[in-house]
Chains A and B, each alone.
Chain A
Amino acid sequence: MADLFKVTSSPHVHAKATTPRIMWEVFFALVPAAAVAVYAFGLESVRVILITTAACVALEALYQKLAGGKVTAMDGSAALTGLLLALNLPPTAPWWLCLAGAIIAVIIAKALFGGLGQNIFNPALTARVFLLISFPAQMTRWMIPSQAGDMAKSFLGFNTNFIDHGGEVIKEAAKITVGQVDIVTAASPLGLLKEQGAAALGQLEWWHLAVGHLTNGSLGEISAAALLAGGVYLIARRIISWHIPVSFLGTMAVFATITHAVDPARYAGFEFHLAAGGAMLGAFFMATDYVTSPMYPLGKIVFGCGCGALTMIIRLWGGYPEGVSFAILLMNALTPLIDRYATEKKFGFKKEPKEET
């Protein structure tokens, strides 16, 4: 007999999408945002990112080894969790804070639930919330970013010229000493907004926030443009779908526009709310996590709208200046419920007559 036909079952065309490929591609999409953070804060951000990512990978490998299963720590999911967590931390985060965050993210929020694919809550966000509650002082020390040429200087010590450069924009700066280095901190834009209303933002234009000019915050909150670029790349590569980011940011914009129209002095406009804080990071990278978000398009839209609504409620009327992490965690808890009802219609399937339960 000549050639025997190879008989296999479908699918016959394979997209070569494996877990490591997807995870590392998302990681790559976050590189612009990390680069802006490094540009803004100097080697502090490199330190935070390195410690967190390395700790996450190492802890996952350690746990998997001790638990006796397969060690899959290099598949990129732990590294991605580490990078996302690092982007949620302030640049002044001490090494033990990064380590504690890594332990919570990888061990408590992921490994104890059963590993990749079994967790209910987004691990990076869980860690962030835990750290925020446990160490409120360390987690809200927002350093004023340096200018481009000061990156070398920032390695040796931070100069206080920052106040002159950004003095008109950032109000209420405070000088503190961390270790042997003096750094200048100030309230983040969202913090200012919460405490004093939109009028206090003064000359802080929304495009400052979008590009990353002279704003402070956690590592991932600096440049909305870089995050948007990464997010659009992921959508173009079909790694995430547009439903969640669009509904998330859209709902936020609706809330912001309505409240801004009612009271412009107290409430900021939608361009500010979308660009400030973790909205971009949350909408594109955190809320779209495969494991913790709904599977089907209608569910995704419901999920995104819920996240957006909760974020704005917390930001506008809640106790915390930033609500993205809490909103996404709350919606994570509702994901199984959403999945139950917002399912796809199966091909050729007729709805059964309602039965008495």
Chain B
Amino acid sequence: MNAWKEFSKGLIKENPITVCLLGMCPALAISTSTYNALGMGVSVIFVLLCSNILVSLLKKWIPKNVRIPCFVVIIATFVTIVDLVVHAFQPALHKSLGIFIPLIVVNCIILGRAEAFASKKSVWHSIMDALGMGLGFTIVLAIVGTFREFLGNGTVTIFQMGETMVKFNSLDDSFAKTIIAILPPGGFISLGIFAAIVNKLQKKKA
């Protein structure tokens, strides 16, 4: 089924981070903990899905010359929605994501998919593409985030509701934290090594 292929390609074959290398800025900055990564991933899926639908619906009426500003307006609307919702229901997430929620507006994944895909294909295919890309983004972010948080902090934080945090602590307190894993250089290196491993495994399959 063609729609299924649109969905699954975003997961591995055309994964936005490891293959297309889009959206690296939030990927590097946010993957310092699993909680942040999942929160950002869900926000991106929501924005990507809604903006893809709307762009696909409006594709006949958006003039070619001003299509990018139109896409940005559409995306910004949904990002504002996400921003306000997260601020209301998950204030801790809002605080740790900080400036990166508004920066979803210029996330290359969303703008890229709107330009390259949603403005040309049907609504149903755009939905599948958005879900696939968003899920691929989230999965990579979650894996790298868990790895970095575990090395750098000894914990794995999954969810936070109010004051309680569902998190797993490392085995004991004498575990030495590799601080560099949480810092930007660690992010670059972790992401680079992850992308290299994924691509090498993919080449072997093909």
B166 contacts the other chain (Cβ, under 8 Å)? no
Contacts of A97 in B (CB 8 A): 176
Mask of A108-126 contacts with B, CB within 8 angstroms, 1/0 = 1000000000000000000
Task: Tell me which of A96, A100, A108, A134 contacts B179 (CB under 8 A).
Answer: A134
Docked complex Cα distance between A246 and B17 (Å): 47
Docked complex Cα distance between A142 and B176 (Å): 18
| Interface residues on chain A, size class | 10 to 19
B73 CB to nearest chain A CB (Å): 42
How many residues of chain B get a CB closer than 8 Å to chain A's CBs?
A: 8
Contacts of B181 in A (CB 8 A): 134
Docked complex Cα distance between A136 and B183 (Å): 14
Task: Tell me which of B179, B185, B189 contacts A136 (CB under 8 A).
Answer: B179
Contacts of A2 in B (CB 8 A): none
Docked complex Cα distance between A96 and B176 (Å): 10
**Residue contact A108 to B189, C-beta cutoff 8 Å:** yes
Mask of A135-148 contacts with B, CB within 8 angstroms, 1/0 = 11010000000000
A242 contacts the other chain (Cβ, under 8 Å)? no
Which residue of B has the minimal Cβ distance to A100?
A: B178
Docked complex Cα distance between A138 and B180 (Å): 14
Contacts of A96 in B (CB 8 A): 176
Contacts of A130 in B (CB 8 A): 180
A133 contacts the other chain (Cβ, under 8 Å)? yes
**Residue contact B176 to A133, C-beta cutoff 8 Å:** no
Docked complex Cα distance between A97 and B180 (Å): 13
Contacts of A108 in B (CB 8 A): 189
Compute the total of residue contacts between A and B using a CB distance below 8 Å.
19
**Residue contact A135 to B189, C-beta cutoff 8 Å:** no
By DSSP majority rule, is chain A's interface helix, strand, loop, or mixed?
Answer: helix
Contacts of B183 in A (CB 8 A): 133
Mask of A91-113 contacts with B, CB within 8 angstroms, 1/0 = 00010110010000000100000
Docked complex Cα distance between A96 and B178 (Å): 11
B190 CB to nearest chain A CB (Å): 11
Mask of A61-101 contacts with B, CB within 8 angstroms, 1/0 = 00000000000000000000000000000000010110010
**Residue contact B189 to A134, C-beta cutoff 8 Å:** no
Among A96, A108, A134, max chain B CB count under 10 A is at: A134
Contacts of A138 in B (CB 8 A): 176
Contacts of A100 in B (CB 8 A): 178
Docked complex Cα distance between A196 and B176 (Å): 30
Docked complex Cα distance between A96 and B151 (Å): 13
Contacts of B178 in A (CB 8 A): 100, 134-135
Among B176, B179, B183, B189, max chain A CB count under 10 A is at: B176
Docked complex Cα distance between A136 and B178 (Å): 10
A27 CB to nearest chain B CB (Å): 29
Contacts of B189 in A (CB 8 A): 108
B188 CB to nearest chain A CB (Å): 11
Which residues B182-197 have CB closer than 8 A to chain A?
Answer: 183, 185, 189
Given A96-B176, A100-B178, output 12 extra A-B contacts at Cβ < 8 Å: A94-B176, A97-B176, A108-B189, A130-B180, A133-B179, A133-B180, A134-B178, A134-B180, A134-B181, A135-B178, A135-B179, A136-B179
Which 4 residue pairs across A and B have the least CB separation, nearest first?
A: A134-B180, A134-B178, A133-B180, A134-B179
Residues of A within 8 A of B (CB): 94, 96-97, 100, 108, 130, 133-136, 138
List 16 A–B pairs whose Cβ atoms lie within 8 Å, in order of A's numbering. Answer: A94-B176, A96-B176, A100-B178, A108-B189, A130-B180, A133-B179, A133-B180, A133-B185, A134-B178, A134-B179, A134-B180, A135-B176, A135-B178, A135-B179, A136-B179, A138-B176
